[in-house]
Chain A
């Protein structure tokens, strides 16, 4: 067929014209849709007005009105039916039927309306049906959500247990004369050792990359001033030595700081007035990160066991530093007994901190123990003839007999998590409950309190977008509640986690069961509804580090005693076992006896390090798997070398 042929073109033209006249969407469908839209939303669809203007008799209009109203259809559909019925009655009347005849033959209005309605509904376009379904669904969901909203907001936490009191029960049971805190308190206040107001901070000459502070030595510029301070604070030193002989600190701790006596409060918060104890909460609450938490949530959080502050533990560092300076003075005065007393006092601090039930005090206790070891190392290495053989043995025994608590439980962490749970969840009286609105805030505050600051000081929130503000928390709270685990589920999850942690503490580094606590902690921390995860890995590392230094110190002093007695250094560990040590001190990394090497007239005690390869005391700081700042992704090559334990290497 030649389209250009005139005859063909003439034959096809009507078809083309008809196509365009009908429109791309079928015969008049676009025009009809447009007209219906106008009738639905504009005055054009006012069917009542159209009926009134039809000039039909009142009873006919009433019939039509009744039918159309009962259809309960869309406005444009009512309009079309109205127009159809108006035309019907008018046509019928025009053809000679009376109004009464037409009404009689029309039928029942209700039946007619039902037929109109069912026909229209069943033949509505799918798009309309989908839209109607969506609207009904949205309405249903809204009603359901409003119901959930009411249900969610009815839930309140029930602070049924005083976990602060439970935590303090063991402390309260200690006899008063066995508590070290009353011995320390008044002299620490007097000499500014409380909190961060350490009198001796001004004597810090430097801080090593390992975090250990250096204090004046004989000949330093500040030495004379330091000596003067020491001589003027003998009551402080007496209190330190006396108090450190006791096993327990004996200070009951409170989140509600108004429960402290005035003396205790002054010792713990020297910057605050006792009558304005509320200032403490403002400071605590400022640590909760973002604004937008309710006053109720802040109150719950600041009064929880998580709100308990430990400002006094840093005072031990100050006290230990006082003892180091005094020991250096004692050396100049040839007073080894005082040096030994100072070392033992430092060990006493460490013991008291280990006996406190917190992970924080365990870590600081390890740091204090390390200070004691370095104290010993300095005294013994730099003053080889200061101590008699008996005094050396006493020093060695003080270190050897010190109990580094390698296997321990963490009752305070359990208490802390239970306390948070009762502030986050409701209580059905059977150990179960659901997430509460204020509890969601407490949860977020706990998570930001623990992980809201990076090492470089920037903020690092990991809060879901729908919980970032009070308004989003309020709106999305019911949805969060639906996805949140119950109180019972969270409790069981944390209990299982604690059991895993305590099990991990029973294994040694060289055991296959040692496990990666950091990974376990990270997984737990990532769980959205776990409020608080202690850094148990850091605690375990700190304890292992302390035990490693302990073993090395014992070996080093034993070797020095052997050298003093025989004029020679031991060739092997066997030379020391029996007379100088009961058994070979072990390497906390390999589980094998520690290594040592004699260089000139000094002994180097070392661990084979994380590569478990004896490199002959070739030092590599990352051979220590327990170093607190150890990078996570060290390559094997970077850990080639040994961990020098004695003397402690300064980097």
Chain B
């Protein structure tokens, strides 16, 4: 299931940072990992990923370096900064609170009589 754009706007950067918490990655690797590990939810348009990475880097959440990959080509590798780690920790708390709250409201249940057509009468 793909997220709508507005939801992606808030969640996308956090998802990328969460992915990079596991270690340094390059651009296509991030695209592939995001889609795979999120089971297709965070299938970012590839054209939007790199601007997002640049934005996070400008905000000092990430840092990058050029490095020769195993195929001999120069790639740009991204990793979290200390500031990024802090932000990620904060975002994780917020997401946890959000999920808990939504769950309490019943929004996280996929089968629910409340979601069926209302009956009148």
Chain A residues with CB under 8 A of B50: 81, 84-85, 88, 112, 116
Chain B 77-112 interface 0/1 with A at a Cβ cutoff of 8 Å (1 = within): 000000000000000000000000000000000000
Chain B 18-39 interface 0/1 with A at a Cβ cutoff of 8 Å (1 = within): 0000000011110110000000
Chain B residues with CB under 8 A of A123: 54-55, 58-59
Most buried by A among B28, B48, B52: B28
Do B58 and A119 have beta carbons less than 8 Å apart? yes
Q: B47 near A: Cβ within 8 Å?
A: yes
A390 CB, min distance to chain B CBs, angstroms: 112
Do B71 and A27 have beta carbons less than 8 Å apart? no
Instruction: Given A83-B76, A94-B71, A95-B32, answer yes or no on A115-B27 (Cβ-Cβ < 8 Å).
Output: no
A95 to B54, CA, bound (A): 24
Size category of the binding interface on chain B: 20 to 34
CB-CB nearest in chain B for A104:
B46
Do A84 and B58 have beta carbons less than 8 Å apart? no
Do A91 and B28 have beta carbons less than 8 Å apart? yes
CB-CB nearest in chain A for B71:
A94
Do B54 and A119 have beta carbons less than 8 Å apart? yes
A56 CB, min distance to chain B CBs, angstroms: 12
Chain B residues with CB under 8 A of A147: none
Chain B residues with CB under 8 A of A95: 28, 32
A102 to B26, CA, bound (A): 16
Q: B41 near A: Cβ within 8 Å?
A: no
A408 to B73, CA, bound (A): 97
Do A112 and B27 have beta carbons less than 8 Å apart? no
Do A87 and B48 have beta carbons less than 8 Å apart? no
Chain A residues with CB under 8 A of B28: 87-88, 91-92, 95
A67 to B49, CA, bound (A): 14
Do A91 and B47 have beta carbons less than 8 Å apart? no
A88 to B78, CA, bound (A): 13
A:97-121 near B, CB below 8 Å: 102, 105-109, 111-112, 115-116, 118-120
Do B48 and A27 have beta carbons less than 8 Å apart? no
Chain A residues with CB under 8 A of B48: 107, 111-112, 115
Most buried by A among B47, B73, B75, B76: B47
Q: A178 near B: Cβ within 8 Å?
A: no
Instruction: Given A87-B76, A107-B47, answer yes or no on A116-B27 (Cβ-Cβ < 8 Å).
Output: no
Chain A 37-51 interface 0/1 with B at a Cβ cutoff of 8 Å (1 = within): 000000000000000
Instruction: Given A84-B27, A92-B28, answer yes or no on A107-B46 (Cβ-Cβ < 8 Å).
Output: yes
Chain B residues with CB under 8 A of A28: 65
Do B54 and A91 have beta carbons less than 8 Å apart? no
Q: B45 near A: Cβ within 8 Å?
A: yes
CB < 8 Å neighbour of B26 from A91, A107, A109 = A91
A106 to B49, CA, bound (A): 10
Chain B residues with CB under 8 A of A67: 47
Instruction: Given A84-B76, A87-B75, answer yes or no on A106-B47 (Cβ-Cβ < 8 Å).
Output: yes
A122 to B29, CA, bound (A): 26
A80 to B58, CA, bound (A): 14
CB-CB nearest in chain A for B58:
A123
A118 to B54, CA, bound (A): 10
How many residues on A have C-beta within 8 angstroms of the other chain's C-beta atoms?
30
Instruction: Given A88-B27, A108-B47, answer yes or no on A83-B74 (Cβ-Cβ < 8 Å).
Output: yes
CB-CB nearest in chain A for B66:
A83
Q: B63 near A: Cβ within 8 Å?
A: yes
Q: A90 near B: Cβ within 8 Å?
A: yes
CB-CB nearest in chain A for B32:
A95
A124 CB, min distance to chain B CBs, angstroms: 8
Chain A residues with CB under 8 A of B47: 67, 106-109, 111-112, 115
CB-CB nearest in chain B for A113:
B47
A294 CB, min distance to chain B CBs, angstroms: 57
Do A112 and B51 have beta carbons less than 8 Å apart? yes
A:130-175 near B, CB below 8 Å: none
A92 to B28, CA, bound (A): 6
A88 to B31, CA, bound (A): 9
A161 CB, min distance to chain B CBs, angstroms: 68
Instruction: Given A88-B28, A106-B47, A107-B47, answer yes or no on A120-B75 (Cβ-Cβ < 8 Å).
Output: no
A102 to B48, CA, bound (A): 14
A245 CB, min distance to chain B CBs, angstroms: 99
Instruction: Given A87-B76, A88-B28, answer yes or no on A120-B54 (Cβ-Cβ < 8 Å).
Output: yes
Chain B residues with CB under 8 A of A94: 71
Do A116 and B55 have beta carbons less than 8 Å apart? no
A517 to B50, CA, bound (A): 78
Do B51 and A119 have beta carbons less than 8 Å apart? yes
B20 CB, min distance to chain A CBs, angstroms: 16
A:5-58 near B, CB below 8 Å: 27-28
A392 CB, min distance to chain B CBs, angstroms: 107
CB-CB nearest in chain B for A28:
B65
Chain A residues with CB under 8 A of B29: 91
CB-CB nearest in chain A for B65:
A28
A85 to B45, CA, bound (A): 13
Do B54 and A90 have beta carbons less than 8 Å apart? no
A118 to B58, CA, bound (A): 12
Instruction: Given A95-B32, A123-B54, A123-B58, answer yes or no on A88-B46 (Cβ-Cβ < 8 Å).
Output: yes
Do A27 and B63 have beta carbons less than 8 Å apart? yes
Chain B residues with CB under 8 A of A108: 47
Do B27 and A91 have beta carbons less than 8 Å apart? yes
A111 to B65, CA, bound (A): 26
A24 CB, min distance to chain B CBs, angstroms: 17
9 more A-B residue pairs beyond the given contacts A81-B50, A84-B27, A87-B69, with a C-beta to C-beta distance below 8 A: A28-B65, A83-B76, A84-B50, A87-B27, A88-B27, A91-B27, A105-B46, A109-B47, A115-B51
Q: List 20 A-B contacts (CB under 8 A).
A: A67-B47, A83-B74, A84-B27, A84-B50, A87-B73, A87-B74, A88-B27, A90-B73, A91-B26, A91-B27, A91-B29, A91-B75, A107-B47, A107-B48, A112-B48, A119-B52, A119-B55, A122-B58, A123-B54, A123-B58
4 interchain residue pairs of minimum CB distance:
A123-B58, A112-B47, A107-B47, A91-B28
Q: Which residues of A contact B (CB under 8 A)?
A: 27-28, 67, 80-81, 83-85, 87-88, 90-92, 94-95, 102, 105-109, 111-112, 115-116, 118-120, 122-123
Q: Which residues of B contact A (CB under 8 A)?
A: 26-29, 31-32, 45-48, 50-52, 54-55, 58-59, 63, 65-66, 69, 71, 73-76
